[in-house]
Amino acid sequence: SIYIDDTPGIRITEIRSRSRKLAQETGNLGLILIDYLQLITGTGRENRQQEVSEISRQLKILAKELKVPVIALSQLSRGVEQRQDKRPVLSDIRESGSIEQDADIVAFLYRDDYYERGGEEEEGIPNNKVEVIIEKNRSGARGTVELIFQKEYNKFSSISKREA
């Protein structure tokens, strides 16, 4: 089963409380997905960077407590837009260095066609490749995997040897 909670302006304490309750009721949570971290409301007692750091820390604690993976999407800072190479790096994560510290894995999606007008390769073939950049992996390899992104279906697929 999938449970969706789209409460606007939710606080991390409420996310933790609802996750615990759901884990008790269902006996098992398979995954918690946060879309996106910066939408979680802070306490208002700290600056936003400190609030996001605390939210990140609390999500890490929740993952360990419930023994469940937590995937937290995050915005990037605008700094990536100013560079020649637009591929994101850890320092591009918006509002907090602690996100990269707390995370076991940090992965970025990168598409050339997002930044290039027209989104076409030299041969006139649509550029539908996406890079999954594993920038941090606490217990495994780092690197980049290329996939095909089918925009019309919001679908990612492996690249066949013919397409590579």
DSSP state, residue 158:
E
- Superfamily covering domain 1-103: P-loop containing nucleotide triphosphate hydrolases (3.40.50.300)
150 strand-pairing partners:
155
Identify the CA nearest to 129 among candidates 111, 117, 108, 116.
111
- Res. 157: pLDDT tops 90: yes
Model pLDDT, residue 108: 95
Identify the CA nearest to 15 among candidates 2, 27, 25, 6.
6
Model pLDDT, residue 163: 60
Q: Say how many C-beta atoms besides its own lie within 10 A of residue 135's C-beta.
A: 19
* 8 A C-beta contact, residue 129 and residue 103: no
Query: Which residues of the chain are in CATH 3.40.50.300 domains?
Result: 1-103
- Res. 20: pLDDT tops 90: yes
pLDDT band, very low/low/confident/very high, at 99 (cuts 50, 70, 90)? confident
- pLDDT tens column, 103-119: 999 999 999 888 776 54
Q: DSSP letter string over 75-127?
A: PBPTHHHHSSS----GGGBTT-SHHHHH-SEEEEEE-HHHHSTT-B-TTS-B-
- Torsion angle of the four alpha carbons 125, 153, 6, 61, in this order, in degrees rounded to the nearest 10: -70
CA diameter of the chain? 56
Distances (CA, A) of 18 to 22, 30, 61, 76, 150: 6, 15, 15, 27, 35
